[in-house]
Amino acid sequence: MEDTKTPQVDSTVDKAVDTASQALNVDVNQLESYAQMFSEMSIQFGTKLLMAILVFIVMQWLIKRLMKTIDIAMEKKGVEITLKQFLHSIIFISFKAIQIVIFASMIGIETASLIAVLGAAGLAIGLALQGSLANFAGGILILFFRPFKAGDFIDAQGYAGKVIEIQIFNTILLTVDNQRVIIPNGLLSNGCVKNVFCESTRRVDMVFGISYSDDIQKTREIISSVLMADSRTLKDPAPDIYVAEHGASSVNFYVRPWIKSEHYWDYHFTIIEQVKLAFDREGITIPFPQRDVHLHQVSS
């Protein structure tokens, strides 16, 4: 009995060994195939990665050189410091975004969907920040077209003061009584702005009234002598002195001398004082509103 069973057992064991050997050979072959595939992919990806890193480094160097060249060009053109800083930031961010997109595409990352997502996010943010974007755009227009600059004295949106800083979203004024006023750039770019002292010369408009009994020609000579006695009065154009109107209680002279813009306020107040003193010396009367009241007695 034992002899008859032994050949069958041996045959079964041999078959099992053969099957295991075949399976093992298949697994080994698959592993070798996977290893070879992984090796090829690693070499391919490694080559792309090295090229992408090389391009990234080269672009990094180019961006620094370009930014330096752009800064020098803006400095030669006399671009205002605020606009210069803003343009520097925008250009630098744009270059860095291009650099990152190129790097991602070189290593095989799909960039189209990423750009679409960023565009949708930008649209949503833009809709949510419409007011801020209007001020942002206004700041760009102000910095680019320069209707006024830091140091100018402007009158806008009901406020008058010296511009101490032009920011991207707001402009900061310092009023004559030393108050700080912050005005959104959207209002300034879309509204009326008076740049008071942007020109080198300015006309000073004043009105002086005299009594109807005073000598008009003498008054004109007195006013002219006061103006010409002040060295700040410009000879060209010559001051204008006109009899402008017959008022309710006075004859009014319009006096319009020209001066350097930086002398405006001090000159204005000085001339008003000097004309009053000259009128007093020469006996010219500065009338004030008055009313005559006549009483009539009615007999009973």
Confidence (pTM): 0.58
**Could you tell me which CATH number the domain at 27-128 has?**
1.10.287.1260
**What pLDDT, on the 0 to 100 scale, is given for residue 1?**
45
Q: Based on the number of CB atoms within 10 Å of its own CB, is 271 exposed (0-12), middle (13-18) or buried (19 or more)?
A: buried
Arithmetic mean of pLDDT, 208-222: 94
**Could you tell me which CATH number the domain at 148-195 has?**
2.30.30.60
More confident residue, 140 or 12: 140
Q: What is the mean pLDDT of the chain?
A: 82
- Whether residue 20 is predicted with pLDDT greater than 80 in this model: the reply is no
- Whether residue 46 is predicted with pLDDT greater than 80 in this model: the reply is no
* Boundaries of every domain in the chain: 27-128, 148-195, 201-282
Q: Give me the long-range contacts of 62-71 (CB less than 8 A, separation at least 24).
A: 63/92, 63/95, 63/96, 63/99, 66/95, 67/91, 67/92, 67/95
More confident residue, 39 or 242: 242
**Phi and psi for 257 in degrees, rounded to 5?**
-85, 160
**What pLDDT, on the 0 to 100 scale, is given for residue 2?**
47
Cβ partners under 8 Å of residue 236, min gap 6? none
Tokens read off for 242? 């006109």
3-state class of 186 per DSSP? helix
- Whether residue 128 is predicted with pLDDT greater than 80 in this model: the reply is no
The architecture in CATH of the region 201-282 reads 2-Layer Sandwich (3.30)
